[in-house]
């Protein structure tokens, strides 16, 4: 029997991990299965573009994995039994389960409502394609002079507000942020960002907490009402509750606690990558939820799994940050260079050059996922033993 590797989720991290494993391990010894809810790979970093009516290149997972030896199972994950090493699924045929010897948990995250009343009923988000589709349809039906409020001043909120304002200059776009606009950036970058918001006519409500969302706008902590026909919720991400409902050790955030190889500290046959994992980064700080963290985490996990199964030394490359790439519409951008632990440096790129830089980064990430076995030379290794009992738990 072959060693069964199951990858849950086919976003940037899950898709990257599966492709790298297929390149590292011999197909005579291993069976790699990717479980995902649908056949489309979603470029999450482009959902603000999709929401404003732009059409994105469709990438089918079935095409991506054709000829790689990776099996794709279209199903929704409902539970993980880490003690029995099984995953409960629901697909077009109903409920079922799949067993594994090694699990890569990459279910990612969705929009976090932080318990604010009215978000689920009245707000829109761009954390996934279905929710971005809802916003796309709503914005398309919004007449000139309509009002849009983006709640959240992080990277997602900044990109959403500027994309909407540029694509729909006939709308009144505003942002509400609990801090200052771009206050995590270098001073020069902050000034540039404010200039872009001014040019696009985006009103900014800084140091403003939203405590309730209503059909006609948002209510702030000091009882003001920020009117909006469309409220876009961009206040961060929350992981799916599946891991927390299992016996896996998770943090207060619901993320699976992992070591430097992305291996669960409680269940050694489980690896977690991307937003679903709580991993230590440079300076002892947790890696932030981002594509910049997720793909290197996927590489580390895949390489560690392959090394343990084939009896080789585990390669460990420290995960560090280089820059934050921010699109400000299609013709403008901001690249904030950062330290290894993600603190802003006094250096940046801006304008059209930064927009092109960001586009190259996005295209590169998508290309890497769409060509999962072309990034590495062929190094398919045989397992240390061909017995079905082999497990990374014994390594």
Distance CA 299, CA 313 (A): 15
The domains spanning 1-108+240-319 and 115-233 adopt the same CATH topology: yes
DSSP for residue 287: P
Among residues 20, 9, 37, 214, the alpha carbon closest in space to that of 103 is found at: 9
In this prediction, residues 127-131 reach a mean pLDDT of 95
What Å distances lie between residue 162 and 46, 91, 230, 328, CA to CA?
13, 38, 15, 5
Give 47 or 365, the one with higher predicted confidence.
47
Which tens digit of pLDDT belongs to each residue from 66-87? 988 999 999 999 999 999 999 9
- 3-state SS assignment for residue 277: strand
93 CB-near residues (< 8 Å, 6+ apart): none
Which tens digit of pLDDT belongs to each residue from 170-212? 999 999 999 999 999 999 999 999 999 999 999 999 999 999 9
Q: What is the mean pLDDT of the chain?
A: 93
pTM of the full predicted structure? Answer: 0.92
Report residue 344 CA to chain centroid gap: 22
Distance CA 281, CA 294 (A): 12
Task: Judge whether residue 392 has pLDDT over 70.
Answer: no
The side-by-side arrangement of strands in the sheet containing 172-176 is 123-124, 230-233, 147-151, 172-176, 203-205
- For 11, phi then psi, to 5°, come to -80, -160
Q: Where are the domains of the chain?
A: 1-108+240-319, 115-233
196 CB-near residues (< 8 Å, 6+ apart): 162, 328, 332, 334
Distance CA 104, CA 122 (A): 35
pLDDT of residue 394: 41
305 CB-near residues (< 8 Å, 6+ apart): 5, 21, 24, 102, 104, 271, 392
In this prediction, residues 141-157 reach a mean pLDDT of 97
Distance CA 48, CA 242 (A): 27
Among residues 140, 189, 165, 154, the alpha carbon closest in space to that of 337 is found at: 189
Which tens digit of pLDDT belongs to each residue from 277-329? 999 999 899 999 998 999 999 999 999 999 999 999 999 888 999 999 999 99
Task: Judge whether residue 391 has pLDDT over 50.
Answer: no
User: Do β-strands 203-205 and 172-176 pair in parallel, antiparallel, or remain unpaired?
Assistant: parallel
- 3-state SS assignment for residue 273: coil
Per-residue pLDDT band at 379 (split at 50, 70, 90): low
In the chain, where does DSSP find H-type helix?
12-24, 47-51, 61-64, 119-122, 129-140, 155-167, 187-200, 291-310, 352-370
DSSP for residue 44: G
CATH of domain 115-233: 3.50.50.60
Task: Judge whether residue 389 has pLDDT over 50.
Answer: no
pLDDT of residue 375: 52
Which uninterrupted H or E stretch holds 236?
none
pLDDT of residue 347: 95
pLDDT of residue 385: 61
352 CB-near residues (< 8 Å, 6+ apart): 331, 332, 333
pLDDT of residue 390: 44
What Å distances lie between residue 267 and 103, 237, 245, 249, CA to CA?
10, 25, 14, 8
Which tens digit of pLDDT belongs to each residue from 263-280? 999 999 999 999 999 999
pLDDT of residue 352: 96
Distance CA 87, CA 77 (A): 7
Which tens digit of pLDDT belongs to each residue from 104-128? 999 999 999 999 999 999 999 999 9
Distance CA 28, CA 50 (A): 41
In this prediction, residues 31-58 reach a mean pLDDT of 95
User: Do β-strands 109-111 and 76-81 pair in parallel, antiparallel, or remain unpaired?
Assistant: unpaired
Distance CA 78, CA 97 (A): 9
Which uninterrupted H or E stretch holds 175?
strand 172-176
Residue 216 burial (CB count, 10 A): 13
What Å distances lie between residue 390 and 195, 305, 385, CA to CA?
59, 12, 7
Cα 197-228-154 angle, rounded to 5 deg: 45
Domain 1-108+240-319 CATH class label: alpha beta
């Amino acid at each position: 029997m072959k060693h069964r590797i199951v990858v849950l989720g086919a976003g940037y991290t899950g898709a990257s991990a599966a492709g790298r494993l297929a390149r590292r391990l011999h197909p005579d010894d291993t069976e790699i299965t990717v479980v995902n809810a649908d056949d489309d790979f979603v470029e999450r970093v482009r959902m603000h573009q999709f929401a404003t009516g732009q059409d994105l290149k469709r990438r089918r997972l079935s095409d991506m994995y054709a000829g790689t030896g990776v099996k794709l199972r279209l199903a929704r994950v409902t539970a993980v039994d880490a003690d029995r090493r099984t995953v409960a699924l629901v697909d077009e045929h109903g409920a079922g389960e799949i067993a594994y010897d090694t699990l890569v948990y990459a279910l990612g995250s969705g929009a976090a409502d932080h318990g604010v009343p009215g978000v689920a009923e009245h707000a829109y988000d761009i954390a996934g394609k279905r929710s971005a589709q809802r916003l796309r349809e709503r914005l398309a039906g919004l007449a000139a002079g309509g009002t849009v409020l983006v709640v959240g001043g992080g990277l997602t909120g900044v990109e959403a507000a500027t994309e909407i304002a540029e694509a729909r200059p006939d709308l009144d776009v505003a942002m509400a942020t609990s801090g200052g606009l771009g206050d995590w950036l270098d001073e020069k970058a902050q000034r540039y960002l404010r200039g872009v918001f001014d040019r696009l006519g985006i009103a900014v409500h800084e140091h403003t907490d939203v405590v309730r969302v209503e059909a006609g706008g948002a209510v702030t902590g000091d009882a003001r009402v920020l009117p909006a026909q469309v409220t876009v919720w961009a206040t961060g991400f929350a992981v799916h509750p599946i891991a927390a409902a299992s016996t896996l050790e998770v943090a207060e955030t619901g993320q699976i606690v992992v070591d430097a190889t992305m291996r669960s500290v409680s269940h050694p046959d489980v690896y977690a990558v991307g937003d679903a994992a709580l991993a230590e980064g440079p300076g002892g700080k947790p890696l932030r939820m981002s594509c910049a963290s997720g793909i290197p985490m996927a590489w580390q996990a895949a390489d560690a799994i392959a090394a343990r199964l084939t009896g080789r030394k585990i390669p460990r490359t420290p995960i560090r940050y280089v820059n934050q790439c921010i699109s400000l519409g299609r013709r403008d951008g901001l690249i904030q260079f950062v330290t290894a632990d993600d603190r802003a440096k006094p250096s940046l790129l801006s304008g059209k050059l930064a927009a092109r830089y960001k586009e190259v980064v996005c295209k590169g990430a998508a290309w890497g996922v769409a060509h999962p076995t072309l990034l590495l030379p062929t190094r398919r290794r045989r397992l240390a033993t061909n017995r079905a009992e082999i497990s990374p738990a014994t390594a």
